[in-house]
Amino acid sequence: MDRRQFVRLLTAGGSVAIGHRAWGRTPGFSADGAFPYFGEGVVASRELVRYPQKTDLILLTDRPPQLETPLRYFQSDLTPNDAFFVRWHLSGIPTNVDLHTFRLEVNGLVQKPLSLSLSDLKTRFKPVSVVALAQCAGNSRSLFEPRVPGGQWGNGAMGNARWTGVRLKDVLDEAGVKAGAVQVGLRGLDVPPMPATPVFQKSLEIDHARDGEVMIAYEMNDSPLPMLNGFPIRLVVPGWFSTYWVKSLSSLTVLDQPLKTFWMDKAYRIPDNPDANEDPQHLAAATVSISLMPVHSIFVSPEPGEQLRAGESFTLKGVANDGGSGVRRVELSTDGGQTWSDATLGTDLGKYSWRTWQAEWTPPAKGSYRLMVRATAGDGQTQRSSQWNRSGYQRDVIEDMDVVVA
């Protein structure tokens, strides 16, 4: 569809019309340039909207689109494509891609530059698939205290999918990476709204790019990628936060020195310590680029505000993930952390997939209860009791939920 059709569908097809609060505004940056900042009033109330190819999702901003998945869609192993969260950085997103002319350009420090159509990717390279979690680095940002600027995501800025495509390694090998290569630069079809706005570019170290797991995906849950999730192709970097999962991937540039860009040098950085933690009054002096996802678990059911009844069994549900060692254990507490018991883990779809979990609980009496959940990864990493950083990134604290039993 062309841009006019896209906008017409966007505004006409929503269950709630796009609000005036966000339309026409574009993100700026915090004073220190450390993270995107959307400004007073730009973050929408948690209303539902429907974009093309999407069901009703929670609106954060509409330019660029930031749409959060309601928790009810997280009760299965794979997140439906139409319910998958949406996160773009620049307002000039692609709404129409002509597959007759689209090409993935591979250039830079290579022996043979490539210009690959979608058909080339599907016919010239061996297809591979992986189930992997895509998660925004700012997922759960709204839960940080004290609050920090940026998109105020709840727990729905993530989704689990089966990705099918080709190994990035195979494409780079076809081009012939020359000696001296240190990184691969990544760029998509989205464009800045103004000349002064930095182009969205990311990079991976050359050894990571060629590890055989990083993928150029053209299918998501056995269907073409939705436009808002990166059609026709996107990068998939299993285990890493999805800031590296460049959507509508259009070029790969093999570099002989590290990429210098706002999106690597200033944005998406965390304190340089194992916990990505700092004190609001004493910010960390050293930062590093965010990368691997830590272990984390959340409640999916009950949903916030849902009322339970004393003496009636209720199935507590949720999901847990880490960055690639797999989820080994999920524990629950129904008494504010005084005692813990194991939940039952769902199907293991691979080390980069989330694991669903569930546990039966019968509230013994009326009143208020604090539910808590913590996960342990295959490498022994577990969730912590507290965490804060200035960008609201990489939340991995023990999640809690207060419920009222009638």
Tens digit of pLDDT for each residue in 78-107? 999 999 999 999 999 999 999 999 999 999
Confidence of residue 11 (pLDDT cuts 50, 70, 90): very low
Q: Is the pLDDT of residue 1 over 70?
A: no
- Exposed (0-12), middle (13-18) or buried (19+): which is 21, by Cβ within 10 Å? middle
pLDDT at 315: 98
pLDDT tens, residue by residue, 358-394: 999 999 999 999 999 999 999 999 999 999 999 999 9
- Whether 298 and 139 have beta carbons less than 8 Å apart is answered as no
With contact defined as beta carbons under 8 Å apart, do 202 and 249 qualify? no
- Which pLDDT tens digit goes with each residue over 176-215? 999 999 999 999 999 999 999 999 999 999 999 999 999 9
pLDDT per residue as tens digits for the range 122-164:
999 999 999 999 999 999 999 999 999 999 999 999 999 999 9
In this prediction, residue 304 carries a pLDDT of 83
Domain boundaries, the chain: 3-87, 104-289, 296-405
pLDDT at residue 380 in the model: 97
CB-hemisphere CA count at 13 Å for 92? 12
3-state secondary structure the chain: CCHHHHHHHHHHHCCCCCCCCCCCCCCEECCCCCCEECCCCCCCCCCEEECCCCCEEEEEEECCEEEECCHHHHCCCCCCHHHCCEECCCCECCCCCCCCCCCEEEEECECCCEEECHHHHHHHCCEEEEEEEEECCCCCHHHCCCCCCCCCCCCCCEEEEEEEEEEHHHHHHHHCECCCCCEEEEEECCECCCCCCCCCEEEEEHHHHCCCCCEEEEEECCEECCHHHCCCCEEECCCECHHHCCCCEEEEEEECCCCCCHHHHCCCEEECCCCCCCECCECCCCEEECCECCCEEEEEECCCCCCECCCCCEEEEEEEECCCCCEEEEEEECCCCCCCEECEECCCCCCCCCEEEEEEECCCCCEEEEEEEEEEECCCCECECCCCCCCCCCCCECEEEEEEEC
Radius of gyration of the chain (CA): 21
pLDDT at 2 over 60: no
pTM attached to this predicted model: 0.90
Give residues with Cβ within 8 angstroms of 362, minimum separation 6. 311, 312, 313, 314
| Structural contact between residues 59 and 49, judged by C-beta atoms closer than 8 angstroms | yes
Name the token pair of 349.
Answer: 């779809």
Q: Find, among 200, 169, 202, the residue nearest to 185 by Cα.
A: 202
Query: What's the confidence (pLDDT) of residue 27?
Result: 33
Does residue 341 register a pLDDT over 80?
Answer: yes
Residue 38 has pLDDT above 50, yes or no: no
CATH number of the domain located at residue range(s) 104-289 in this protein: 3.90.420.10
| Bond from prior residue into 232 cis (ω within 30 degrees of 0) | yes
Task: Average the pLDDT over 284-293 and give the result.
Answer: 98
> Same CATH fold, 296-405 and 104-289?
no
Q: For position 46, what pLDDT does the model report?
A: 74
Q: How far is CA 245 from the centre of its chain?
A: 8
Higher pLDDT, 44 or 312: 312
Portion of the chain with pLDDT greater than 90, in percent: 87
Q: How many CA atoms lie within 13 A of 308 on its CB side?
A: 29
Matching CATH number, 296-405, of 2.30.30.100, 3.40.50.450, 3.40.50.720, 2.60.40.650:
2.60.40.650
| The pLDDT of residue 290 is above 80 | yes
So what's the pLDDT on residue 21? 28
- 38 or 145, which is more confident: 145
Query: 333 versus 39: which is more confidently predicted?
Result: 333
pLDDT > 70? residue 15 = no
The stretch 251-270 carries a mean pLDDT of 98
Q: What is the pLDDT of residues 304-315, one digit of tens each?
A: 889 899 999 999
Answer yes or no: is pLDDT of 253 > 60. yes
Beta bridge partners of 18: none
Mean pLDDT of the chain: 90
Q: How far is CA 280 from CA 5, 144, 234, 271, 277, in A?
A: 46, 11, 36, 12, 10
User: Confidence class of residue 25 from pLDDT cuts 50, 70 and 90?
Assistant: very low
Local confidence band at 296 (pLDDT 50, 70, 90 cut-offs): very high
